[in-house]
Amino acid sequence: LFNRPWIFIRGVPSMKFLPPEGPAEVAFAGRSNVGKSSLINALIGQKGLARTSNTPGRTQELNYFVPDGYSGEGDDLPPMALVDMPGYGYAQAPKAQVDAWTRLVFDYLRGRATLKRVYVLIDARHGIKKNDEEVLSLLDKAAVSYQIVLTKTDKIKAPGLARLLDITAETIRKRPAAFPEVLATSSEKHRGLDELRQAILTTVEG
């Protein structure tokens, strides 16, 4: 699947615009600017498909990406969809907007039957923060399977990364819906991408 071209099919500004439940969905969640959109582009090898930015708050809807050749409508359903999400924890945007994004993200994560796995992205320079913990708790409560992915590992040195991997694994050890293995990635240096692709395929096929 990751060798084929992918296309953007839909931006969802609120729950009522979600496509009908059908294909397996894999979502990318995380704080603003953690690198969600960049990681999707790196996974599918298409720079610029998911829009990225230096400025937090770039992605403002649930953006659906599917392998090309499927409209995602009716009986032409794709085998799976990747869902790029708005970030949480961006305090600089107007409060009404932040509230709307947060509600959308939380409602989707809690209430989507075809959501197979959430990749919760954590900036390798910062580790798991309080608002990440809130999202993990929500996923545990809703029994939605998730896996932690460290991003931007090109920005820290090897010993720091090894330590962070240990700390992160320990932090999630008692969380019921957490997949125990923590993945380390860099979209910029193309690190950890094959492991993540394999994890996604296993999830979707299983």
Contacts with Mg ion, residue ranges (CB under 5 A): 36-37, 58-59
| List 18, 29, 44, 52, residue binding ligand GTP (CB under 6 A) | 52
| List 3, 16, 54, 96, residue binding ligand GTP (CB under 6 A) | 54
> Among ligand GTP, Mg ion, none, what does residue 151 contact (CB within 5–8 Å per kind)?
ligand GTP
Instruction: Please say whether the beta carbons of 123 and 152 come within 8 A.
Output: yes
- Segment holding 101, helix H or strand E: helix 95-111
Instruction: Please say whether the beta carbons of 112 and 57 come within 8 A.
Output: no
Q: Which residues pair with 26 in a beta bridge?
A: 82, 117
Smallest distance from ligand GTP to CB 73, Å: 26
- Only segment of 15-23, 34-42, 105-113, 137-145 that touches ligand GTP (CB under 6 A): 34-42
196: how many CB neighbours lie within 10 A of its CB? Answer: 20
Question: What ranges make up the beta strands (E) of 88-180?
Answer: 115-123, 146-151
Q: Is 27 in the site for ligand GTP (CB under 6 A)?
A: no
Both tokens of residue 86? 């708005």
**Residue that the structure tokens 């240990």 belong to:** 166
181: how many CB neighbours lie within 10 A of its CB? Answer: 12
Per-residue mark of binding to ligand GTP, 91-130 (x: CB under 6 A): ----------------------------------------
The binding site for ligand GTP (CB under 6 A) comprises 30, 32-38, 52-54, 56-59, 87, 151-152, 154-155, 186-188
